[in-house]
Amino acid sequence: MTARVLVVDDILANVRLLEAKLAAEYFEVVTAMNGADALEAVQRTSPDIVLLDVMMPGIDGVEVCRRIKQNPATQHIPVVMVTALDQPEDRVRGLEAGADDFLTKPVNDVALFCRVKGLVRLKMLIDELRARTGADPLGLAAAESAADLAAGRVLVLDNRLTAAERIRGLLEAKYEVTLVTEPQQAFEAFGAAQGGFDLIMVNLDLEGMDGLRICSQLKSVETTRQTPILILVEPDDHQRLLRALDMGVNDYLIRPIDKQELLARVATQIRRHRYTEQLRLTVRASMEMAVTDALTGLYNRRYLETQLVQLIEQSADRGKGLSLISLDIDFFKSVNDTYGHDAGDRVLQEVAGRIRGCVRSGDLACRTGGEEFVVVLPGADMPVAEKVGERIRKAIAGKPFMLGPASHLTVTASLGVSNLAAAEDTVEELLKRADRALYRAKREGRNRVVPAAA
């Protein structure tokens, strides 16, 4: 992994030391000797992470961090504050300014590369999500506000009860803490917790259990994979610490645990988790918007055409049938003309709901435009497709559409059905045959299902 790191310190020896360590690990290093130069370097070089000394003349590190995090163009850049061991108040000030993490002087190599690599991985993820959304919809400040408004949920896995109770006592004033003593209880807690947890804390030195294996299991299961893990380790347990970081553990605390550091790291992990989850939700929503019809929630024509190509290929390869229903609401123009477009929209939404209630989860229901719908039935031959079409027709015609407390309307639909005729059949031909059958249904009196001619 490589990235651009901005190192900021007013003491040249400190700058050169960090620069040498990072360069040896193939990081690109940019340096600054004061707060003003640091802010200019952030704008000029767009670093992937900033290592920022707290104590500097002029603009100190806390103010530099605050300005970076207040700027929408730079607020997503991780900032690690470098503090002295005898300055715990600086951690609180840095946290309030938006710092993502802390390092203490003298900087330990394991801690340095853990923090830098972990935050760089996170930034790469955020950059990808931001690129997909085209913008940062909430911004880090909004994510932090959301974290403040709702109490974070922390799951502590530790069978050394005295230590676990101490952790819970330090956290429960601000967070909702669940304490479990076995891995299975952790997974059960996730299943019972609506919305899951914001952080999992695991004691790596569990009695009678392999803490590393538990972390591996948590990272391999879908329900817990995206939840950050913070491990508790002994001071001399470097080998297992490095293995844990390699498998994706997000952060660690070395015993004896400092209360301020515990609170700072828990708050940081929860803030990051909620921010990335919000970005993931935004990406998912934007992807759904690209393939679904906004009015009815069914898939749109673009999605139909792309998926139908694959479904035809799969049906041909597996030797299974595939059928398609083309549906058009009868006399829909008169609904809009008589009752208005709002009523017409409600009819379209209700038709979509009734179609959805008549098909299987693996079927593809789409609104292709106006009052036109298409349903794709993988694995279905023509007789089955005709039965499904008749079920849809009855669902639409059999119950009035309510337009108001005292106003209702009977709606019918005409349907045409086609099926995959040969392996070389195309999307266009399959749709065209269903449309021809639909037009026949219109000509023959509407409110009926007509199969395509063989």
Catalytic residue list: 371
With both helix axes pointing from N to C terminus, report the angle between 61-70 and 139-149 in degrees, rounded to the nearest 10. Answer: 100
* DSSP per residue, 326-362: EEEETTHHHHHHHH-HHHHHHHHHHHHHHHHTTS-TT
Pairing of strands 229-233, 251-254: parallel
Residue with tokens 């801690």: 111
> Taking a C-beta distance cutoff of 8 angstroms, is the pair 416, 306 a contact?
no
Instruction: Give CA–CA dist 427/116, Å, rounded.
Output: 51
Instruction: Give CA–CA dist 153/367, Å, rounded.
Output: 41
Instruction: Give CA–CA dist 355/411, Å, rounded.
Output: 13
Instruction: Give CA–CA dist 326/239, Å, rounded.
Output: 63
Pairing of strands 153-157, 176-180: parallel
Instruction: Give CA–CA dist 329/223, Å, rounded.
Output: 42
Pairing of strands 401-404, 407-409: antiparallel
C-alpha distance from residue 409 to each of 308, 389, 401 (Å): 34, 21, 5
How long is the chain? 454
Helices (H), 221-329: 238-246, 259-291, 301-318
Burial track 80-96 (b if 16+ CB lie within 10 A, e otherwise) = bbbbeeeeeebbebbbe
Q: Which residues contact 74 (CB under 8 A, 6 or more apart)?
A: 42, 43, 68
